[in-house]
Amino acid sequence: MSTDRSPLALPFPALPAIAGVTPHVARAHYKSWDRCDLTFITLDPGTAVAGVLTQSKCPSPEVEWCRKALVLGQARALVVNAGNSNAFTGNRGRAAVEAIAARIAGRIGCSPSDVFVASTGVIGVPLPIDKAEAGLDAAFAAAPCRWEDAAATIMTTDTFAKGATTQAVVGGRTVNLVGIIKGSGMIAPDMATMLGFIFTDAAVDSAFLQSALAHANNRSFSCITVDGDTSTSDTVLAFATGAAGNAPIVSAEDDGADAFFAALADLCRQLALLVVRDGEGAQKLIEITVEGATSDRSAHRIAMSIANSPLVKTAIAGEDANWGRVVMAVGKAGEPAERDQLAIRFGTTQVARDGLAVEGYDEAPVAAHLKGHEIEIGVELGLGEGRATVWTCDLTHGYISINADYRS
């Protein structure tokens, strides 16, 4: 956890309690931090669960555990460890996850498969079972905590706690959705890009919840990048307790399904943007919109090519409207593009059109736009109807400083 708060940080919002969800925090001493590093959340019986997990071919044991447990569609508890990702730790790492799930299952009276486990931090160091069990015992004895405490506890290089909320009307009942998330570096989507946890009192069938979360992910968590690196531990889980008392949403045709679908998508977008706002060393939030591509998928790939370009990101850090670097990133994406139809804008100012610089364009509004904290880059390809928006941040010396001594 950094002591220098991101200039893009937002205050932690007031989040409502979610009936059927009880968060606790404790210290397991995974690192020498003088703070809590274990979040333990209990969920009432009947809670449905859905999740999206990293596509890394070197996933943590926690990811493998969650992937198997998600098939059953039900949950009773979540534990999140910060400071040690337990990834690339072989049988010792798997044993730690199994021990954690068994200890919680024994405590609350459920199956180990109803317990979801996530860890974040240094790769290659097995999670100490003795510290995990002692931390859990402390969490079992701890009083319920605020959402902000839970969000702060799961942080690593984050500079601020991240949370969001929204509501929907389902079957005449107002349902609440709350999310907490951590993420700052190793952020590039090949699904999800951090640890994020969503809780709702809506009654939602696990299969519908999975479909809704996957859809929301494709337009939020999979549209952000900080550094182009996909973590071994990326996990987003959504839990629905059903305590709101609405008729369960089973399909898209059910009353309130559209409202819930939209609310979940909105919440995921809020959470995703909080991660980019806390990108390691970030000074600027960058929104990149690509239009006129041959397909939405092609537009997304081009937008991500721009967003992951160190040359584009450093130009924005230096407040330099170097649109030639955007051209470069479009060209390298491997997607259909016609040089002489390409148009580029910074903010609302068109700087290039028809493959050329706009003759006599005024750089003053562009320079003013780039001095701000929120930057917009727009690209028009002129080839079709495909469109995508992604978000990234600038690349500064701060990113190097944070990652050069991350293990120390």
Annotated binding site for substrate: 156, 182, 193, 280, 403, 408
Contact 150, 109 (CB under 8 A): no
Q: In sequence order, which residues have a C-beta less than 8 Å from that of residue 169 and are 6 or more positions away?
A: 175, 256, 259
Q: Which of 193, 200, 225, 235 is catalytic?
A: 193
Residue 379: φ, ψ to 5°: -130, 130
In 79-192, alpha helices (H)? 90-108, 129-141, 147-153
Distances (CA, A) of 350 to 312, 313, 362: 17, 19, 9
For the four alpha carbons of 386, 391, 397 and 400, in that order, the dihedral sign comes to: negative
Q: Is 157 a catalytic residue?
A: no
Q: Which two tokens stand for residue 239?
A: 């839990």
- CB count within 10 Å of CB 110 equals 19
Task: Extract the annotated binding site.
Answer: 156, 182, 193, 280, 403, 408
- CB count within 10 Å of CB 334 equals 10
Picking from 293, 288, 290, 291, the residue whose alpha carbon sits closest to that of residue 316 is 288
Distances (CA, A) of 397 to 123, 233, 265, 373: 23, 26, 33, 17
Would you list the DSSP string of 25-45? EE---SSS-SS--EEEEEEEE
Give the containing element (helix H, strand E) for 156.
none
The count of residues in the chain is 408
Q: Which two tokens stand for residue 289?
A: 């919109």
For the four alpha carbons of 314, 196, 247 and 69, in that order, the dihedral sign comes to: positive
140 exposure class (CB count in 10 Å sphere: 0-12, 13-18, 19+): middle
Active site residues: 193
